[in-house]
Chains A and B, each alone.
Chain A
Amino acid sequence: PERSARVSKVRPPLHQYIRKLLFADLDKTTIERVLRQLRKLPWSECETYLLKCFMKVYKGKYSQVHLIASLTAGLSRYHDAFAVSVVDEVLEAIRVGLELNEYGMQQRRIAYMRFLGELYSYRLIDSPVIFDTLYLIIFFGHGTSEQDVLDPPEDCFRLRMVITLLETCGQFFDRGSSKRRLDRFLLYFQRYVLSKGVIPLDVEFDLQDLFADLRPKMVRYATYDEANQALLELEEVDRNLAASEKDRSSRPLNPSTQGDGEAHVNNPGSEYVKDAQNIGAAPLGTRASGIHGAGLADDADSESETE
């Protein structure tokens, strides 16, 4: 049978030039020049195309991802809307990946985790966005009828996602509130890991490396029940703290009820999951009081109601 020759895509010269800059020229020695060239582009015509190309990070070498993040940071000074769009787009891509859980998308989903971590390194996002994403990954779809499609017990892909993100930016969570948040997340993560069946050896080794790098002294639980028990105790402590916090803040003339960093830290992971999943399941009205722990009674497992 006759077949027409494959027609190759013809791109306008401007698009070709952008692709050349990003996919051929870009390396650590040329990044300054590429950034200058990008700034010289006619932004009103090509911003959309540029965003599209930035989202192709998965096509380049894995080691190049941080260069794209660096460019995003460099451009944010003059084109802040562009930088915001890049972050919105990456977070959306991660979410869609979880919604579809398609085998063929795995490579790019890993690249997006790395990209998000690098965007944190370049200070385009702050740590709550990272932790929201981490909790989203381990809870998304759980407790719904779709759980067996989205995250079946034998599927270890989400482990790889978490490992990749924490490999990229976990070392920054080594002090203050972000340190405590990582400690807490790793406990939820341990329980999640233990809910999986047999874990492939390469993932198991990556997990060992991750814990050795980030929290060498942390207890690794051997069974799901042990990890679950540890979490229940932690949540109990939180509830007590929240209760005393409420006592304190209900007293008049207490100046520390607003902007109290500790109160924020006391939020359990469930708060993040709720945030990330939808604003409908949790009554919006309680949001403001959430920082004082009003949401603490929620069990993390109950956070997966979906619309």
Chain B
Amino acid sequence: LETAMKEQQARTKVAVRHLPPSLSEAVFQDQIAGKYAGAYTWWSYHPGKNSHKRQVYSRAYINFKKPEDVIDFYEDFNGHVFVNERGAQYKALVEYAPYQRVPKPRSKKDVR
């Protein structure tokens, strides 16, 4: 419980949702690099998919060093409009990630 409490107090993992399906990790990273380059410890990008059946948004998870950075980041990027190559607009959502755990810095090397 105590660890859960600590997480409640200082949540640092953020989910950025509803990004353009075709947005590449590199381009997204470029967008946020300027201000937040050294501010996060971990980062995971899940590219979306454009298919005729259903489009899947791209999504990023970012773990910030400091809870205060989350607030800055939220103010900068929540509702930020990303435009894809065809001019379609996507309004990004910034939220606390529902699952706050980030991978341990170095998992055991699997000797297999």
Contacts and interface: CB of A to CB of B under 8 A. Distances in A.
Interface residues of B, number: 37
A271 to B, nearest CB: 9
B97 interface: yes
Given A84-B99, A88-B61, A307 B110 contact: no
Contact of B44 (A85, A126, A129, A133): A85
A284 B9 contact: no
B99 A279 contact: no
A259 B107 contact: no
A222 interface: no
A92 interface: yes
Nearest to B96: A279
A78 B9 contact: no
Contact of A275 (B44, B71, B96, B107): B96
Nearest to A43: B110
Interface residues of A, number: 43
The SS class assigned to the A binding surface is helix
Nearest to A271: B8
Contacts of A7: none
Interface in A261-307: 261, 264, 275-280, 284-285, 287-288, 290-291, 307
B103 interface: yes
Contact of B107 (A79, A126, A291): A79
A34 interface: no
A302 B33 CA distance: 36
B9 to A, nearest CB: 6
